[in-house]
Structure 1
């Protein structure tokens, strides 16, 4: 019989689902930014040569995620356009939930989910598994290297900076100018009210940020912010 899961139970049973995978593991989530615990569990499954399929739906896959996945021989990742489903399966258990595989969601959001057992809910499990397989079939397997991601980001940032006549810097370059980490710079700007975090843990520019000359430039890999080179920290 299916079991209702609240936020903490969803996170708990997701970890159990990954730990108990013996043959295969399917993780379907629009947003993908894995926390250290989930990465540790997946690395262990990779050592055991478990077939792992990860399907995501937002094109702003972070370079850190790509770099980490490059080290795992038994993890295959695919991109599915217009993906909104969140579903996690091994050969015996399935979770259908509101929970994204996104570190912010796992810590900050209120979630709900349903735990389905193959033994107790044979038809429901079968239907969920077949739908997961359909999503895999219509997804495009990602074969992009970290170097390609960095190259595209560098080209986009360089091109835009040239058009701005070098009057503005990206967040990373502004942080380097002030000899701090980019993450620390973004936290400072959140504290100052120039940036805010949305429910998915992504930064967005506030009206105050725009007022001081901040700009957001979208790119294939999520976009970046531009700031005045004379911006005070």
Structure 2
């Protein structure tokens, strides 16, 4: 039968749910800011090639979450508008709770939750699992890449960086050349200035020789800077 969870129990069983996932893990939380322990557990699932889906619902991911997620090959992230549900599932266990997957909530808030198992609560577990899949289907999958935040956010705050370096970010260079950012990234990759593995771009030696730079940290996440006069072949 379902088990009631208070704040500490919710945190404990959430860690156990992630730790014991053998095939699939679904984490649905409006707010997303992961503590070090959860990151450690998810990184281990990634090493084991476990399929992990994270659905969040409040604005953009924080830059630190983007940087960390970039390194995980088996974690897919989706944005769901108007998301308020908090539900965490693996192939055997489900937690429905008030707890966001948010560092502050896990430490400071008073939370409640219910623990279900597929073995003891088959019908309710199945209904929760099917609803989680529905939320995933209606969500927009976000490809975590170095360019996403700068391409879609306000680059005004990067203007100082452009002026200081005499260079342009990828999205600004794309605008200058009259092409889309994704098209420019593809062209830069074809030209050998970038490499792309699993949708994640990195600067090559050829790109560095061209004078391009990789800036790992900013208010808007990581980005590339390119010579202002760059022309594609």
Same fold (TM over 0.5): yes
Root-mean-square deviation (CA, aligned residues, Å) is 2.1
Give the Cα–Cα distance (whole angstroms) in 2 for the partners of residues 148 and 138 of structure 1.
20
- Residues 170-206 of structure 1: per-residue CA shift (max 9 Å, x gap): xxxxxxxxxxxxxxxxxxxxxxxxxxxxxxxxxxxxx
Q: Tell me the equivalent position of 1:62.
A: 62
Q: What's the secondary structure of 1:66's corresponding residue?
A: helix
Does 2:73 correspond to 1:73?
Answer: yes
Alignment of 1:37-186 (within 5 A): 37-150=37-150, 155-157=155-157
| Contact persistence 2:86–2:98 (CA under 8 A) | yes
C-alpha displacement of 1:129: 0.2
Distance 2:75 2:125 in 1: 23
Against the structure 1 CA distance between its residues 49 and 2, is the aligned structure 2 distance closer, same or farther, given a 3 Å change threshold? same
2-structure distance, mates of 1:148, 1:75: 17
In structure 1, distance between residues paired with 2:35 and 2:73: 19
What is the match of residue 23 of structure 1? 23
SS of aligned partner of 2:4: strand
- Contact 1:34/1:102 (<8 A) preserved: yes
110-119 or 54-63: which moved more? Answer: 54-63
Q: Shift of residue 156 of structure 1?
A: 3.3
Deviation for aligned residue 1:151: 5.9
C-alpha displacement of 1:157: 2.6
Q: Secondary structure at the match of 1:78?
A: strand
Q: Using structure 1 for the length normalisation, give the TM-score.
A: 0.66
C-alpha distance in structure 1 between counterparts of 2:116 and 2:156, whole Å: 45
CA contact (8 A) 1:32 1:61 kept: yes
Distance in 1 of aligned mates of 2:86 and 2:6: 15
Tell me the CA shift for residue 152 of structure 1.
5.5
Offset of 1:153 from its aligned partner? 5.3
SS for the counterpart of 1:146 is coil
User: Matched residue of 1:141: which SS?
Assistant: strand
Residue 150 of structure 1: how far off its partner (Å): 4.3
In structure 1, stretches of 5+ residues that fail to align are 160-219, 222-233
Q: Give 1:182's aligned residue.
A: none
Question: Does structure 2 retain, via aligned residues, the 8 Å contact 1:63–1:146?
Answer: no
Distance 1:147 1:95, change over 3 A: same
> Structure 2 stretches of 5 or more lacking a match?
160-219, 222-233
